[in-house]
Every structure is written in structure tokens, then in C-alpha cells.
Amino acid sequence: MSTWIRFDAAAQQFEQFSHRGGRGLMPENTIIAMENALDFGTGLEMDLYLSKDNQVFVYHDDIISPTYATNPDGTLVTREQAAKRKIIDYTYPELKSFNIGIRSNPEFPRKKNINATIPLFEELIDSVELYAKKGDLKKPSYSVEIKVPEAALPSMYKQRLVDAAIKIIRGKNIGDRVIIQSFDREALEYLHQKYPTMKTAYLVFIGQDDFHNNLKKLSFKPTAYSPFYKLVTPDMISYCHTNNIQVVVWTVNTREDIGHLKQMGVDAVISDYPDYFLSK
């Protein structure tokens, strides 16, 4: 089977990634979350957008979140405010001015409420690489999602985001530890055509075709098929492994489900709770 996150051939054949850095414990998609995930020995899953001033930044939602973001003046971001601009319509200095860590989130009661800002992708890589080196931790592995907002996109947005992300990845010399994932087939096709050595994962959710038809929609074989965990079946795992495709499952937030999926034979699990991997 092909490898993309296994650097030690003798290591256990089950990999673990902290979703958005482990948003169940720390502010999501922030440097402090990624460093915390490294302390648990997991890989790092994150999301990328391209800002109005062409900076690659790490964030998930396609708007400034009214759930957990705070304005520079300390007021809470409201739904009405958030709806006025898409995330890609901000410059990076504007984005960095929001505090995305201090507010509590009822969905994640164990999350630490601490000051945190939206990081640049390049800044995040530098920080976690240094953190791992200083802490004598294994080198980070990265599962990076190309985000395509549901909005009118600037010209060649997907291609420019892919190009900018790959330029950073290659500049940091971490390509062998990165897999690029996306729900967007056009972005994946462009990535594979222009950067065929980069590892890819095709994300799928409930409501899409079955795994046979989904994989046929791509003109190439991805490194990994990445379904929502409730879609996983023994047939899916068998088919993917027979065709040298790894199965990377998201987002799995109970210890029981993590253990069950490991027993089923999936190759990797993505979870909001990196501490749940400790007993598995």
C-alpha cells in the first residue's frame, strides 16, 4: 500500500489527525491548537483560503464566525455582520485583527478560551516545525484542505490558491509530509495535473454518490478516499485497498467509533479530540 503519512515502515499502520488542530480542546485552526495536537502525537488537519490580498491563511468557515469570533474592539461578531462579507473578501491584516479563541463554544465545552488569531499558512508551518524540533517530537504531518467558498469566486481562485499553497509547501521542504484534500474535484484535478507528485485526498459527505461512482468522477486515482465516518463500509475499505487507495475518515468524535473504525481497517481517522487517540 502507498504511504503518505508513514515515515517509519515499522510503525503502526493506523494514523491519527487532529481536526482543525483539535478544536474540541483548543481554538480551531490556530497555531496553539496545532502545537497542542503535536503534544498528543497526532498529525495536523487544517483548512486554507486565499485572502483578498493573495495571502494563504488557515481558517474553515466561509464567513467570519458569529459563533466564536470577536471584533477588534471586543464586541462579538454577529450573524448580521458576518453575512455581509465572505472570508475571501478580507485582506489578511483585517482577518488577523479578529480574536477567534477567547469566546466559549457550547459545542466544545472542553475548549480552552484563550486569545488566538487567524494564522498565515506559512507562519503556522514555521511555528509547528520549530515547536516539534524544540520538543524533540516527530516531524509534523499535514492534511491540508483547499477550501472553495460557496460564492462568486475571483478569476482563477482555485488555481491561484493551489499554486500559492504548493509554493509554500515546497519552499518549506515539507512536501513528503503533506496530503492535499478537497471536496472540490476541479481543484483536485488541477492539483494533480500540475503537481502530479503531490498526494491527494478526495473528501466526500452524505448525499453524494457511492464510493464507486465518486471515484469514477476523478480522472486520476487519489492517494486517499476521505468519507464522512458514517459512510464507511467493509466493501468501501476492501475496494480502496485493492486499488491502492487509503481510507481516511472524518470527523470521528467518540472513543468507541475511533476503535471500531480502527478494527474495520481504515488507514487514518480525523477527530476534534486528540486526547481520544491515547487509549486507541
pLDDT confidence band for 111 (50 / 70 / 90): very high
For residue 277, give the amino acid letter.
F
Is residue 6 pLDDT above 90, yes or no?
A: no
Residue 111 inside a domain? The answer is no
Report which DSSP code applies to 215.
Answer: H
Report whether 48 contacts 144 (CB < 8 A).
yes
Residue spans of beta strands (DSSP E) within 139-271 = 142-146, 178-182, 199-204, 224-227, 246-249, 268-271
261 φ/ψ angles, rounded to the nearest 5 degrees: -65, -35
Mean pLDDT for the stretch of residues 99-103: 99
Coil, helix or strand at residue 232: coil
Is residue 153 pLDDT above 90, yes or no?
A: yes
For residue 65, give the amino acid letter.
S
Render 18-45 in DSSP notation, one character per residue: EGGGTTTTS-TTSHHHHHHHHHTT-EEE
Residue 166 inside a domain? The answer is yes
Residue 240 inside a domain? The answer is yes
Report which DSSP code applies to 88.
Answer: G
Q: For residue 26, how far is the Cα from the chain centroid?
A: 15
Is residue 8 pLDDT above 50, yes or no?
A: no
Rounded CA separation 27/193 (Å): 35
Is residue 4 pLDDT above 50, yes or no?
A: no
pLDDT confidence band for 278 (50 / 70 / 90): confident
Q: Please list, in sequence order, all residues whose beta carbon lies within 8 angstroms of the beta carbon of residue 51, skipping any fewer than 6 positions away.
A: 57, 88, 90, 91, 92, 95
**CATH code of the domain in which 208 resides:** 3.20.20.190
Residue 75 inside a domain? The answer is no
Determine how many CB atoms are found less than 10 A away from the CB of residue 4. Answer: 22
Is residue 74 pLDDT above 80, yes or no?
A: yes
Which of 14, 25, 12 lies closest to 275 in space, CA to CA?
Answer: 25
Report whether 266 contacts 227 (CB < 8 A).
no
Residue 73 inside a domain? The answer is no
Task: Kindly state the cell numbers that stand for 268.
Answer: 487514518
Residue 203 inside a domain? The answer is yes
Tell me the pLDDT of the chain averaged across its residues: 95
Which of 90, 61, 228 lies closest to 150 in space, CA to CA?
Answer: 61
Question: Residue 126 to residues 58, 151, 180: CA-CA distances in angstroms?
Answer: 13, 31, 18
Residue 60 burial by CB count (10 A; 0-12/13-18/19+): exposed, middle or buried?
middle
pLDDT at 208: 86
pLDDT at 2: 40
pLDDT 10s digits, 9-32:
334 479 999 999 999 999 999 999
Percent of the residues in the chain that have a pLDDT greater than 90, as a whole number: 92
pLDDT confidence band for 152 (50 / 70 / 90): confident
Is residue 128 pLDDT above 80, yes or no?
A: yes
pLDDT confidence band for 279 (50 / 70 / 90): low
Which of 137, 121, 126, 130 lies closest to 7 in space, CA to CA?
Answer: 137
Structural domain count of the chain: 1
Rounded CA separation 263/272 (Å): 20
Residue 54 inside a domain? The answer is yes
Is residue 1 pLDDT above 50, yes or no?
A: no
Q: Please list, in sequence order, all residues whose beta carbon lies within 8 angstroms of the beta carbon of residue 88, skipping any fewer than 6 positions away.
A: 49, 50, 51, 52, 62, 149, 151, 153, 154, 157
Mean pLDDT for the stretch of residues 180-198: 98
Residue 78 inside a domain? The answer is no
Mean pLDDT for the stretch of residues 128-147: 98
Range of the domain at 162: 15-63+118-277
